[in-house]
């Protein structure tokens, strides 16, 4: 799974499937398992025959983790299967493609599998961890590695910090031979494997630069009994500011598993996350949005969503936000909590009154406004004649929103 962006970024995260990440790695000369992609059972069978491998691994391609322990609504257990018989690949693909796979990270109904990856299964005699990431404290990229791979790296860092190795990369010079060899040695590669691992490290750095990544994480970077160094699983994070020059990468973005409401919100530079409560929150700023959700909870209510308006707000965004909130059948009240610094409260007030009239708002609306142009904003709301409940502060607003539902 590949993702990008930060909590504060207005664009949605970039999602690439596993086979797409492997393709990018392959194009940079990074050693990955031989693989094919199939959309039908017959294609999967043909791919398995073409591989001509001792053992084949079939993987359902969805963005969620935990595929190996997932369950299909066809009855098949597990989204990852090993077999030596190509015919079995066709049979398994028949129970995967077109069916929903449910894992601990998917919605409860699962996600429909439209593609499978048919790959050569390789034995791993040893697993290591390797990553390249941007580090602010070093003003550039840093290599991080550990001979303890194939597990949670945070656990390794907490329990055995001496097994975490770092190398700062000079952004102008790139990865030097001695750095790559030293990291390979620290990862436990010996003899000819050390040089092979160092070569893979340099190729991974080339990929890091080529695709404008903020992180390339390989876990595990493995060693096979035949003496190969192979990148078995990778996660790539991209710099979304580089989208203008990474059009081919961003064109691979798989939106089929994204929440339609979140995608609609992103069109209007709104950050939306659906929750399971009944009080809709409309807030500017991620911190304030989280605080609003907490205070609703404190007063016995449950937030229906997290909706962050951000800074450079326009009336149309307010209107579109209300459209999203009112389209959710779970919503029984709306709480608007705006602290106007960059945001002009009067723009919010005009957007609210327009939305209330045009959408014929049917649920109670509680509004707390503070900051820039707040007196004008309150005048607009008062003179609108609309049934809007004003609140003095966040605590008051949360109490009134919860009370409105209990009436």
Structure confidence at residue 311 (pLDDT): 63
Structure confidence at residue 106 (pLDDT): 86
Per DSSP bridges, beta strands 388-390 and 365-371 are parallel
219 is in an annotated binding site: yes
Structure confidence at residue 379 (pLDDT): 94
| Neighbouring residues of 27: CB distance < 8 A, sequence distance ≥ 6 | none
343 is in an annotated binding site: yes
- Out of 3.30.470.20, 3.40.718.10, 3.30.56.10, 3.90.1150.10, the CATH code matching 126-251 is 3.30.470.20
pLDDT > 80? residue 174 = yes
68 is in an annotated binding site: yes
145 is in an annotated binding site: no
C-alpha to C-alpha distance for 5 and 13, rounded to whole angstroms? 6
**The length of the chain, given as a count of residues:** 407
Q: What is the mean pLDDT of residues 91-110?
A: 93
Query: Among 34, 25, 14, which residue's Cα sits nearest to residue 217?
Result: 25
User: pLDDT (tens digit, 9 = 90+) per residue, 311-330?
Assistant: 667 788 888 999 999 999 99
Structure confidence at residue 339 (pLDDT): 86
66 is in an annotated binding site: yes
CATH architecture of 34-120: 2-Layer Sandwich (3.30)
Q: Check residues 31 and 241 and name the one with the higher pLDDT.
A: 31
233 is in an annotated binding site: yes
SS3 sequence of the chain? CECCCCCCCCCCCCCECHHHHHHHHHHCCCCCCCEEEECCHHHHHHHHHHHCCCCEEEEECCCCCCHHHCEECCCCECCEEEECCHHHHHHHHHHHCCCEEECCCCCCCCEECCCEEEEECCCCCEEEEEEEEEEHHHCEEEEEEECCCCCCHHHHHHHCHHHCEEEECECCCECCHHHHHHHHHHCCCCCHHHHHHHHHHHHHHHHHHHCCEEEEEEEEEEECCCCCEEECCEEEEECHHHHHHCHHHHCCCCCCCCCHHHHHHHHCCCEEEECCCCEEEEECCHHHHHHHHHHHHHCCCCECEEEECCCCCCHHHHHHHHHHHHCCCCCCEEEEEEEECCCCHHHHHHHHHHHHHHCCCCCCEEEEEEECCHHHHHHHHHHCCCCEEECCCHHHHHHHHHHHHHC
Per DSSP bridges, beta strands 333-340 and 279-283 are parallel
Structure confidence at residue 259 (pLDDT): 66
| Cis amide bond preceding 135, omega within 30 | no
Average pLDDT of the chain is 90
Q: What is the mean pLDDT of residues 107-111?
A: 89
Structure confidence at residue 2 (pLDDT): 39
Lowest model confidence (mean pLDDT) among 6-10, 131-135, 367-371:
6-10
33 is in an annotated binding site: yes
User: pLDDT (tens digit, 9 = 90+) per residue, 336-347?
Assistant: 998 877 788 999
Structure confidence at residue 213 (pLDDT): 93
pLDDT confidence band for 9 (50 / 70 / 90): very low
User: pLDDT (tens digit, 9 = 90+) per residue, 128-138?
Assistant: 999 999 999 99
Instruction: Give the catalytic positions in this structure.
Output: 129, 217
C-alpha to C-alpha distance for 97 and 91, rounded to whole angstroms? 11
pLDDT confidence band for 1 (50 / 70 / 90): very low
Sheet holding 388-390, edge to edge: 271-274, 305-308, 279-283, 333-340, 365-371, 388-390
Share of the chain above pLDDT 70, in %: 94
pLDDT confidence band for 5 (50 / 70 / 90): very low
CA distances from 28 to 23, 32, 87, 204 (A): 9, 11, 32, 8
Share of the chain above pLDDT 90, in %: 68
User: pLDDT (tens digit, 9 = 90+) per residue, 12-62?
Assistant: 457 788 899 999 999 999 999 999 999 999 999 999 999 999 999 999 999
pLDDT confidence band for 166 (50 / 70 / 90): very high
Q: In degrees rounded to 5, what are phi and psi of residue 280?
A: -75, 135
CATH 3.30.470.20 residue ranges of the chain are 126-251
Residue with tokens 């997932």: 70
196 is in an annotated binding site: no
CATH 3.30.1490.20 residue ranges of the chain are 34-120
C-beta separation of 334 from 386 below 8 A: no
pLDDT > 90? residue 296 = yes
CATH 3.40.50.261 residue ranges of the chain are 260-404
Query: Among 299, 301, 319, which residue's Cα sits nearest to residue 309?
Result: 319
Question: Could you confirm whether domain 260-404 is CATH 3.40.50.261?
Answer: yes
pLDDT confidence band for 95 (50 / 70 / 90): very high
Structure confidence at residue 23 (pLDDT): 94
Structure confidence at residue 196 (pLDDT): 98
Query: Among 257, 259, 279, which residue's Cα sits nearest to residue 271?
Result: 259
Lowest model confidence (mean pLDDT) among 122-131, 178-187, 384-393:
384-393
What value, to the nearest 5°, has the Cα angle with vertex 60 and ends 201 and 243?
55
Check residue 243 and give left, alpha or beta (phi > 0: left; psi -120 to 50: alpha): alpha
Q: Check residues 258 and 14 and name the one with the higher pLDDT.
A: 14
């Amino acid at each position: 799974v590949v993702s990008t962006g930060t909590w504060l970024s207005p664009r949605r995260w970039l999602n690439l499937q596993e086979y797409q990440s492997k393709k990018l790695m392959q194009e940079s000369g990074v050693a990955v398992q031989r693989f094919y992609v199939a959309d039908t059972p017959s294609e999967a069978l043909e791919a398995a025959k073409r591989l001509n491998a001792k053992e084949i691994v079939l993987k359902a391609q969805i963005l969620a983790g935990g595929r190996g322990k997932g369950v299909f609504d066809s009855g098949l257990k597990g989204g990852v299967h090993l077999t030596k018989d190509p015919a079995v690949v066709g049979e398994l693909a028949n129970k995967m493609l077109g069916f929903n796979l449910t894992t601990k990270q998917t919605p409860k109904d699962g996600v429909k599998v439209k593609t499978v990856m048919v790959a050569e299964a390789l034995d791993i005699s040893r697993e290591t961890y390797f990553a390249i990431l941007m580090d602010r404290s070093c003003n550039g990229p840093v290599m991080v590695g550990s001979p303890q791979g194939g597990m949670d790296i945070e656990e390794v860092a907490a329990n055995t910090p001496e097994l975490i190795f770092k190398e700062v990369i000079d952004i102008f010079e790139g990865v030097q031979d001695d750095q790559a060899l030293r990291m390979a040695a620290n990862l436990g590669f010996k003899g000819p494997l050390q040089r092979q691992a160092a070569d893979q490290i340099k190729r991974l750095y080339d990929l890091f630069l080529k695709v404008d990544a903020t992180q390339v994480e390989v876990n595990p970077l493995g060693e096979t009994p035949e003496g190969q160094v192979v990148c078995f699983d990778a996660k790539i994070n991209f710099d979304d500011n580089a989208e203008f020059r990474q059009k081919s990468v961003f064109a691979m973005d798989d939106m089929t598993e994204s929440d339609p409401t979140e995608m609609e919100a992103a069109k209007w530079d709104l950050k939306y996350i659906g929750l399971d409560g009944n009080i809709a929150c409309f807030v500017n700023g991620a911190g304030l949005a989280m605080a609003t959700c907490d205070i609703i909870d404190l007063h016995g209510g449950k937030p229906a969503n997290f909706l962050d308006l951000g800074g450079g707000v326009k009336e149309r965004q307010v209107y579109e936000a209300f459209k999203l909130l009112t389209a959710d059948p779970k919503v029984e009240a709306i709480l608007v909590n705006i602290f106007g610094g960059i945001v002009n409260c009067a723009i919010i007030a005009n957007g609210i009154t327009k939305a209330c009239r045009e959408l014929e708002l049917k649920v109670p609306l509680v509004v707390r406004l503070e900051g820039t142009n707040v007196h004008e904003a309150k005048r607009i709301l008062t003179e609108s004649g609309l049934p809007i409940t004003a609140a003095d502060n966040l605590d008051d607003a949360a109490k009134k929103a919860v009370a409105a539902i209990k009436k």
